[in-house]
Amino acid sequence: MITAKDLTKKFDSFTALNALNCKIPEGCIYGMVGSNGAGKSTLLRLVSGIYKADGGSVEIDGENVYDNPKIKGRLVFVPDELYFLPRASLLRMAKLYSSIYERFSYDRFKELTAAFRLDPNANIGTFSKGMKRQAATILALSCKADYILFDETFDGLDPVMRNLVKNLLYNDVMERNATAVITSHSLRELEDTCDQLSLLHKGGIIFESDIGNLKTSLFKVQVAFEGEYDRSRFEGIEMLSFVKHGSVASIIIRGDREETTAKIKAMQPILFEILPLSLEEVFVYEMGALGYEFSDVLKQEVE
């Protein structure tokens, strides 16, 4: 379990994380989204013990991470800016990793280098950007760590590799109850992969939820009645949005689907249709309800 309590990190006058609180349970694949500068990478660097917190604490299984080699040996982090020893080959890096990580698996390392079609003896410095990212992913997944942190890792891999990495991740979650934290700019990507999702904005988590609940408790209904009607007709149903075009109303509803269906059907509509929402739409409405404008949060700040 990763626990952050009132976690604060400042860079000069800029507050990257502002009293952030979160809990990431074991065996969970946790996704984080947010605009540039929201604090995603800072949070990962604090969790992996690279930065020292300016306030609050971050703990893994109840122990502080910073300056704690025992805990650090159980986590692996693929940062957005990669580092390899100068002129090192993948094999040389594997040697380094295996000296740090007790459970480092050469079998898996071999399997992965073959799958990614990378030459373990070649100088990593000669690799392309995407290949470097693959190299870092191979090393990280070979460590068999309990906590795997990926900073925008999927964004640099092609779809085939992405599926391969995902399957390995799933395997680790099943086999060792490993925990993964992934950041990405693609909601679509995280929607398929993660089971928990949080949205960061200006150094804090403004929204956190179980993906299953998120997508099943919110849905869109299209309905029409004979004669005139307005929103007051739907009293007792929690509506996040109500838009009427002509005689057809599109309503975003939060609640139990079957219950709501029964309620609306009892009103004898001439048209009734339920549409599931995409995760992006869910975010738009949930955040609207919180008083944030989704487009503002995900929009990259342009100076």
Partner 1 sequence: MFAIDKLSRTPIYEQLIDQFELCILSGDIGPEGQLPSVRYLSQTLSVNPNTLQRAYAEIERRGLCYTVPGNGRYIAKDALIKLREAAESKTSEFEELVSELKGKGVKMETLVGIVNRVYSGEGKVIAE
Using the rule CB under 8 A, is 120 a contact of partner 1?
A: no
Q: Residue 166 Cβ, how far from partner 1 at the closest point, in Å? A: 6
Q: Measuring CA to CA, how many Å separate 204 from each of 5, 20, 40, 300?
A: 12, 5, 9, 16
With CB under 8 A as the contact rule, the residue among 114, 160, 174, 271 that binds partner 1 is 174
Q: Residue 126 Cβ, how far from partner 1 at the closest point, in Å? A: 31
Q: Please choose, from the candidates 108, 111, 92, the residue with its C-alpha nearest in 3D space to the C-alpha of residue 144.
A: 108
- C-alpha span between 39 and 43 (Å, rounded): 6
Nearer to partner 1, 9 or 166 (CB): 166
- Cα four-point dihedral sign 209, 214, 217, 220: positive
Using the rule CB under 8 A, is 148 a contact of partner 1?
A: no
Nearer to partner 1, 125 or 212 (CB): 212
Using the rule CB under 8 A, is 163 a contact of partner 1?
A: yes
Nearer to partner 1, 80 or 191 (CB): 191
In eight-state DSSP terms, residue 89 is B
Structure tokens at 74: 């159980």
Using the rule CB under 8 A, is 201 a contact of partner 1?
A: no
Nearer to partner 1, 170 or 225 (CB): 170
**Using CB under 8 A as the criterion, what x/- string covers residues 242-281 for binding partner 1?**
---------------------------------xxxx---
Q: Residue 291 Cβ, how far from partner 1 at the closest point, in Å? A: 26
Structure tokens at 36: 């540039």
Is residue 1 classed exposed, middle or buried when 0-12, 13-18 and 19+ CB atoms within 10 A define those classes? middle
Nearer to partner 1, 280 or 296 (CB): 280
**Using CB under 8 A as the criterion, what x/- string covers residues 3-32 for binding partner 1?**
------------------------xxx---
Q: Measuring CA to CA, how many Å separate 57 from each of 23, 60, 62, 64?
A: 12, 10, 10, 7
- C-alpha span between 54 and 16 (Å, rounded): 11
Considering just the CA atoms, what is the radius of gyration of the chain in Å?
23
CA angle (267, 271, 274) in 5-degree steps: 90
Nearer to partner 1, 94 or 141 (CB): 141
Using the rule CB under 8 A, is 194 a contact of partner 1?
A: yes
Which residue ranges make up the site for partner 1 (CB under 8 A)?
27-29, 163, 166-167, 170-171, 173-174, 192-195, 211-212, 215-216, 275-278
